[in-house]
Amino acid sequence: CRCCAESRRHGSILYNILRSEERAASPAGQGPRRGQASRGCPCGSRRRVALRSPQVACKAASAVLVKTLRFVQNVPCFQELPLDEQLLLVRSCWAPLLVLGLAQDRVHFETVESAEPSMLQRILTTRQQGEQPPPRGPMPGRPHHGPGGGGGPHLPSAGEIQAIKGFLAKCWSLDISTKEYAYLKGTVLFNPDLPGLQCTQYIEGLQREAQQALNEHVRLIHRGDEARFAKLNVVLSLLRSINANVIAELFFRPIIGAVNMDDMLLEMLCAKL
């Protein structure tokens, strides 16, 4: 986060060791000057968190995922696409669709700070055991496949959870209707910009139809609110910040463990929900 950028150098292990030696060598009673003391992140956005009631929250999220895929399967235009195109679309948008479903069903969840070991603790522990130190989260340029993707658990940060909760609060403040949610989901589902799609023009037309239907609905129902369509488009823009790995780790790793999320989506997509 922004507040940690300035204090990162002052919070390093080496810096604290040097500062402790410096304080020990300084005259008695002469502590560090104001502003020199190492402090933690004021906002705490980097803290790792977990669900307070995972049984309740994971069950609710699983139910929303089933409803979401059922909605997708019931879209006639989606069923006309080849199966590999369907799977490509669902893999790319299941997390934003799920968060929209959480907002629609008004699912609330609380998190608690996790006692996840620090990087130094992991390095020291693995060296004592003669193992290679595990990476902390996905490395830049290296794909992270979520549960079952080959990496260990990567608990989401407080900042990532706050982004999800902020999105939910935004949706609830707009009091989005069932039809508006359906048109928003259609816009998210039919994303023509995905690499590997073959029916790009057809999918682009479906996304345009969903946007037009949303606009016409807003004009009909909310005639006095000329800015509502723009506000709903802001909701769509906020969805781009939703990280699928965060959603998977938060709501599904506690119940499916090492099962790969892509495999589960494929199984659910081919099943009659």
* Every domain of the chain and the residues it spans: 48-112+154-271
Residue 134 or residue 211, greater confidence? 211
Residue 229 or residue 272, greater confidence? 229
- Asked whether residue 145 carries a pLDDT value surpassing 80, the answer given is no
Token digits of residue 81: 């696409």
Q: Which amino acid is at 6?
A: E
Model pLDDT, residue 28: 53
- Asked whether residue 92 carries a pLDDT value surpassing 50, the answer given is yes
* Bridge partners of residue 48, in order along the sequence: 157
Model pLDDT, residue 34: 44
Unique residue bearing structure tokens 């595990």: 134
Measure the CA angle with vertex 197, ends 90 and 204; round to 5°. 85
Is the torsion defined by CA of 31, 34, 36, 38 positive or negative? positive
Of 68-72, 200-204, 258-262, give the lowest mean pLDDT range.
258-262
pLDDT tens per residue across span 24-69: 555 554 544 444 444 445 455 678 888 888 889 999 999 999 999 9
Model pLDDT, residue 191: 95
Residue 49 or residue 135, greater confidence? 49
The DSSP H or E segment spanning 58 is helix 54-73
Nearest to 214 by CA among 200, 193, 228: 228
Q: Rounded to two decimals, what is the model's pTM? A: 0.71
CATH number for the domain formed by residue range(s) 48-112+154-271 = 1.10.565.10
- Indicate the pLDDT class of residue 137, thresholds 50, 70 and 90: very low
- Indicate the pLDDT class of residue 253, thresholds 50, 70 and 90: confident
Alpha-carbon distance of 30 to 16, in angstroms, equals: 17
Alpha-carbon distance of 263 to 11, in angstroms, equals: 41
Unique residue bearing structure tokens 């994971």: 58
Q: Which amino acid is at 245?
A: N
pLDDT tens per residue across span 4-14: 554 554 555 55
- Asked whether residue 107 carries a pLDDT value surpassing 70, the answer given is yes
End-to-end CA distance of the chain: 41
- Residue 101, helix vs strand vs coil: helix
- Indicate the pLDDT class of residue 128, thresholds 50, 70 and 90: low
- Asked whether residue 171 carries a pLDDT value surpassing 90, the answer given is yes
- Residue 151, helix vs strand vs coil: coil
Asked if 138 contacts 151 with a C-beta cutoff of 8 angstroms, the reply is yes
